[in-house]
Amino acid sequence: MQLTSKDFENNQVMADKFTCRGENCSPQLNIKDVPQDAQSLCLILHDPDAVGSDFTHWLVWNIDPKTTVIEENSLPIGSMEGTNDFGNAGYGGPCPPAGTGTHRYIFELYALDTTLKLSDTTTEDQLRSAIESPIIDHAVLTGLVSSE
């Protein structure tokens, strides 16, 4: 399975447009080679370089496995969003505090052998617990954002 974006290359800088310094909108994501037996996809965006601990920016699940593109600033039809560490359901763009260097923003896509029955108050820990055993495949895309 592959996860790419027309908006940035893996391990390259994301434009300010996708951060709190810009429009705070999600980038376009392209999905390829999803396993045929996948029943749904799940997306987690987090910053492992956040001050204090890993910071969750976006949780999406029950994405149709036939999805090939998640358009910029959109949510696939039928999917659900959980609560990010900003306290909101939905996308919260990268926003590294000044003086903390370059942060990695990791988009993790999981192919699951089931759909999930979770509420929009679901956190990253709860989502990761729910997907532990139904994972079929996994893809990663990392964007970089400087705090300067």
CB 12 within 8 A of CB 143: yes
**Average pLDDT, consecutive stretches of 10 residues, N- to C-terminus, the chain (148 residues):** 98 96 97 97 97 94 98 95 95 94 97 96 96 93 94
Structure confidence at residue 2 (pLDDT): 98
At residue 133, the pLDDT reads: 85
pLDDT at 52: 85
Residue type for position 31: I
Per residue in 91-104, pLDDT (tens digit) is: 999 999 999 999 99
Q: Where are the domains of the chain?
A: 2-146
∠ CA(126), CA(63), CA(25), 5° rounding? Answer: 85
What topology is assigned to 2-146 in CATH? Phosphatidylethanolamine-binding Protein (3.90.280)
| d(C-alpha 110, C-alpha 133), whole Å | 11
